[in-house]
Structure 1
Amino acid sequence: MADRPRAAGGPGATLPGLSGPLRFLLLCSFLIPLGSFMVLPFMSVFLYERLGMGLGTVGAVLAVASLVQFSGGIFGGALADRIGLRRTMVWALVVRTAGFGCFLLGLRWPPLAVAALVLTCCGAALYLPANKAYLVHGVDDEQRPAFLSAGNAALNAGMAMGPLIAGPFVLSSPGPLFLAVGALFALITAGHARLPAPGDGRRGASAAGQGLLTGVSVLPFAANALAFYLYFHFQHYLAVYAVERASSRFYSVVLLVCFLLVIVVQPLASGVIRGMPYALALALGFAGLAAGLAVLAIGTRPALLAGGALITLGDIVLFLKNDLEALRRSPRSDAVVFGQQRLAAGLGACAAGVLGGQLYGLAQRAGDTSRFWLLAAAQCLLLPPLLLTLRGRTAAPAPADDDMEGTPAADDAHGRVPGR
């Protein structure tokens, strides 16, 4: 093991001799968002211009799809706890491959395009908790930030490249594009079917009797929901604001810079973030969000770039630390914990869509949309202190089962699983 590669996770952090399955999983962490983001970012334009749906209908479809993709992760985590990580990933990819196949049929019958979008989002919801849990299975606590950051870097690289590759073809040649993406997902599914089972599904029938939110770490759950709520002010409404003041091309540049920051900075900072006290991480993360949102209110091109960068840096700290803290505090399996955190993300993103939309509309009617960003920045300062009331709280675990004594599940319920 002397030649194990160094990881960009802070001083002394390493990725210990990545096995073939983990290398494949990291490659797929790039290929899956690459394929997905060759299609999904263009859905509003595709449904509106190519299939002739009304904007109100398009908005409703995208809202439902987003909620399914994020909040459905809690069912993905529960499924992985019941049938295992590998089998869950395979079934999730089968669903997603079928979704991209339905996009082809949707070119002739638009309702199938809506079904295709929902299917792909269901597949994503099922896949991600199992993917993250497989990536950190058997990894000790010191190494988890490096592994999670490597996966996040691959994810963001795929998200950044997908739109650049597919942009010229979505409206002009959608059929070949959907066919190519569907074929890519079919190959990825076949590869996942050959992965070794990582000794998962260790809770068996006992896990099946637990509620979806049993053992949830209340503070990391609430902090994640709040972080996504505030971040999605930026995600949902920057496009309208930036195109109005610059151009759609410049908006793409801002997003590319944000993706690159996650790819480069999060792996480098993962070790520091892991060792950071949770209260300090929350303070720094929300302060970064507040600063970035306030800078956006200036409205110039440099301000758009700087604001996006500050928001991304804040989220790099918040999203990783919340996941690590949830894993540390919860007695549940990794897959269930990641699913619970995805539910929090979905609730936050949905709230941003509903409440943020109303606030942006008010600012727009008042003739000054910069006020929207200042109000969002103020929320970054006023809302996080409410999290202090949740400190140390965790939902009650399921009742202990005498038959579980001495088993890995029993050890986990008492907080003694290695690497937790």
Structure 2
Amino acid sequence: MTDAAGGAGLRSAFSSLTGPLRFLLLSSFLIPLGSFMVLPFMSVFLHERLGMGLGSVGVVLAAASLVQFSGGVVGGALADRVGLRRTMMWALVVRTAGFAAFLAALRWPPVAVGALILTCCGAALYLPANKAYLVHGVAEARRPAFLSAGNAALNAGMAVGPLIAGPFVLSSPGPLFLCVTVLFAAVAVGHARLPATGAAGKRSGDVRPPGQGLLSGVAVLPFAANGLAFYLYFYFQHYLAVYAVERASSEFYSLVLLTCFVLVIVVQPLASDAIRRMSYPVALAAGFAGLAAGTAVLAAGTRTALLAGGVLITLGDIVLFLKNDLEALRRSRRSDAVVFGQQRLAAGLGACASGVLGGQLYGFGERAGDTGWFWMLAAAQCVLLPPLLLALRDRACAPPAHPDDTEGTTTPDDAHGRIPG
């Protein structure tokens, strides 16, 4: 598909956007904008402003990340029971309270830990309901465009937030925390005016028996593929900073991150329909190949390699993260919110495993005086681990939820969780 065709498809999809969905996309920008005015600086704030040791800071941040990602499975289940709008409102109230608690932490430093965990709990509750509301009642062919637009708004907020807050987070944290608290309170009030969906993102024909568990009906292959994708991606996310700063500068590292954000914002919406039409095995192969090539290039350690590696990794992620969500929605009979929560759980488990194992490997490389091999080892995992997903090809938990949606998405084997060998 050409960029022109992709742009035409986007214009067609968004021409029918209602006021509530426009507000939801705006919120998808404002919420990460506010969050990333604070959260990226937490290690510096906790260590330098509040005097916590680096070891303690690491434990706190690891726990917060696990809560934020893996807690999504609870958020999806809550939305399934009480509704999408109510879940989003509760989540925003929790996050508003968390950022308000950072103000108290300026006087009582230990409160900062609880404040951070509280904001992460709010994020865990919010995102599955947000995504489910965004695609609720949307035709299957338009779901990729709407999801990619939400991802673009999310990445735009993540890119702009640190640029705004960087000069103030240490010098004037009080006014900064107050501004973010007011922003979240205003967004929460706006969510109260959203119309109720009537169901927690369920598709026609969906049935949820009473007492169904959080992982019941999980789409095994997309769940495992998402966990593996996040595990490999977070080698880049966790360890590029220290690797790039010592070889280039913090400014150049910021440039690499900004480039990656812009790619997601621009490329994923344009490519969303092409990604929808890809067969799942092709999408997995293309995505993991991008991760493998990108991490291998990073091993060179030059400025050009850092930028090119980041671009290749991001292009692989654009395919993997969107396709895994779409495939999980297609294969599962659970509500959209539950499916997104299950996918967030997979992401959290992968990111946590990457932090634990990757930290040990990177530390070993530092002690050995050569961290370039760390990226070659990551590239080798990108090549060797994805074929293990073949073992899951016969373990689909449920038949596809949309048997009529077959345009360019599956092969006969793939329809039941099989990847042709």
Cα distance, 1:375 vs structure 2? 0.2
Which residue identity is paired with 2:135? V
Cα distance, 1:364 vs structure 2? 1.2
Q: Give the Cα–Cα distance (whole angstroms) in 1 for the partners of residues 210 and 88 of structure 2.
A: 18
Distance 1:7 1:295, change over 3 A: closer
Matched, 1:382 2:384: yes
SS at match of 1:110: coil
Q: Give the Cα–Cα distance (whole angstroms) in 1 for the partners of residues 324 and 78 of structure 2.
A: 22
Matched, 1:393 2:389: no
SS at match of 2:239: helix
- After superposition, give the CA deviation of every residue in 1:210-268 in whole Å (9 maximum; x if it has no partner): 00000000000000000000000000000110011011111111100000000000001
Q: Give the Cα–Cα distance (whole angstroms) in 1 for the partners of residues 193 and 25 of structure 2.
A: 15
Q: Give the Cα–Cα distance (whole angstroms) in 1 for the partners of residues 286 and 12 of structure 2.
A: 22
Q: Give the Cα–Cα distance (whole angstroms) in 1 for the partners of residues 19 and 240 of structure 2.
A: 40
Q: Give the Cα–Cα distance (whole angstroms) in 2 for the partners of residues 85 and 201 of structure 1.
A: 5
1:145 alignment counterpart: 144
CA contact (8 A) 1:138 1:418 kept: no
Matched, 1:294 2:322: no
SS at match of 1:324: helix
Cα distance, 1:415 vs structure 2? 3.2
Matched, 1:320 2:289: no
The TM-score normalised by the length of structure 2 is 0.91
2:33 alignment counterpart: 34
Instruction: Note the 1:328-343 alignment, pairs <5 A.
Output: 328-343=330-345
Q: Give the Cα–Cα distance (whole angstroms) in 2 for the partners of residues 11 and 126 of structure 1.
A: 28
Cα distance, 1:198 vs structure 2? 1.2
1:17 alignment counterpart: 16
- After superposition, give the CA deviation of every residue in 1:290-322 in whole Å (9 maximum; x if it has no partner): 000000000011110000000000000000000
Q: Give the Cα–Cα distance (whole angstroms) in 2 for the partners of residues 180 and 208 of structure 1.
A: 42
Deviates more, 1:9-18 or 1:76-85: 9-18
Q: Where do 5+ consecutive residues of structure 1 fail to align?
A: 1-5, 397-412
Cα distance, 1:82 vs structure 2? 0.2
CA contact (8 A) 1:15 1:143 kept: no
2:284 alignment counterpart: 282
Instruction: Note the 1:100-179 alignment, pairs <5 A.
Output: 100-179=99-178
- After superposition, give the CA deviation of every residue in 1:82-114 in whole Å (9 maximum; x if it has no partner): 000000000000000000000000011111111
Q: Give the Cα–Cα distance (whole angstroms) in 2 for the partners of residues 196 and 28 of structure 1.
A: 15
- After superposition, give the CA deviation of every residue in 1:35-92 in whole Å (9 maximum; x if it has no partner): 0000000000000000000000000000000000000000000000000000000000
Total equivalences in the alignment:
399
Q: Give the Cα–Cα distance (whole angstroms) in 2 for the partners of residues 180 and 419 of structure 1.
A: 45
Q: Give the Cα–Cα distance (whole angstroms) in 2 for the partners of residues 266 and 21 of structure 1.
A: 23
Distance 1:7 1:258, change over 3 A: same
Percent identity, aligned pairs only? 77
Q: Give the Cα–Cα distance (whole angstroms) in 2 for the partners of residues 280 and 373 of structure 1.
A: 24
Q: Give the Cα–Cα distance (whole angstroms) in 1 for the partners of residues 63 and 268 of structure 2.
A: 30
Distance 1:15 1:417, change over 3 A: farther
- After superposition, give the CA deviation of every residue in 1:136-173 in whole Å (9 maximum; x if it has no partner): 00111100000000000000000000000000000000
Instruction: Note the 1:45-124 alignment, pairs <5 A.
Output: 45-124=44-123
- After superposition, give the CA deviation of every residue in 1:6-58 in whole Å (9 maximum; x if it has no partner): 97486996235100000000000000000000000000000000000000000
CA contact (8 A) 1:221 1:340 kept: yes
Instruction: Note the 1:243-254 alignment, pairs <5 A.
Output: 243-254=245-256
Cα distance, 1:365 vs structure 2? 1.3
Q: Give the Cα–Cα distance (whole angstroms) in 2 for the partners of residues 271 and 200 of structure 1.
A: 27
Q: Give the Cα–Cα distance (whole angstroms) in 1 for the partners of residues 210 and 38 of structure 2.
A: 35
Distance 1:144 1:41, change over 3 A: same
Consecutive aligned runs of 4 or more in structure 1 exceeding 6 Å deviation: 202-205, 417-420
Aligned-residue CA RMSD (Å):
2.0
Q: Give the Cα–Cα distance (whole angstroms) in 2 for the partners of residues 414 and 157 of structure 1.
A: 33
CA contact (8 A) 1:132 1:148 kept: yes
1:399 alignment counterpart: none
Distance 1:169 1:276, change over 3 A: same
Matched, 1:415 2:414: no
Q: Give the Cα–Cα distance (whole angstroms) in 1 for the partners of residues 200 and 317 of structure 2.
A: 31
Q: Give the Cα–Cα distance (whole angstroms) in 1 for the partners of residues 353 and 36 of structure 2.
A: 23
Q: Give the Cα–Cα distance (whole angstroms) in 1 for the partners of residues 131 and 405 of structure 2.
A: 14
Distance 1:419 1:165, change over 3 A: farther
CA contact (8 A) 1:22 1:135 kept: yes
Cα distance, 1:361 vs structure 2? 1.1
Distance 1:414 1:329, change over 3 A: closer
Which residue identity is paired with 2:294? G
Which residue identity is paired with 1:32? I
Matched, 1:309 2:300: no
SS at match of 2:89: helix
Q: Where do 5+ consecutive residues of structure 2 fail to align?
A: 407-421
Q: Give the Cα–Cα distance (whole angstroms) in 1 for the partners of residues 376 and 400 of structure 2.
A: 45
Cα distance, 1:395 vs structure 2? 3.1
1:265 alignment counterpart: 267
SS at match of 1:142: helix
Cα distance, 1:417 vs structure 2? 9.5
Q: Give the Cα–Cα distance (whole angstroms) in 2 for the partners of residues 349 and 18 of structure 1.
A: 34
Matched, 1:197 2:199: no
2:349 alignment counterpart: 347
1:211 alignment counterpart: 213
2:409 alignment counterpart: none
Cα distance, 1:394 vs structure 2? 2.6
1:234 alignment counterpart: 236
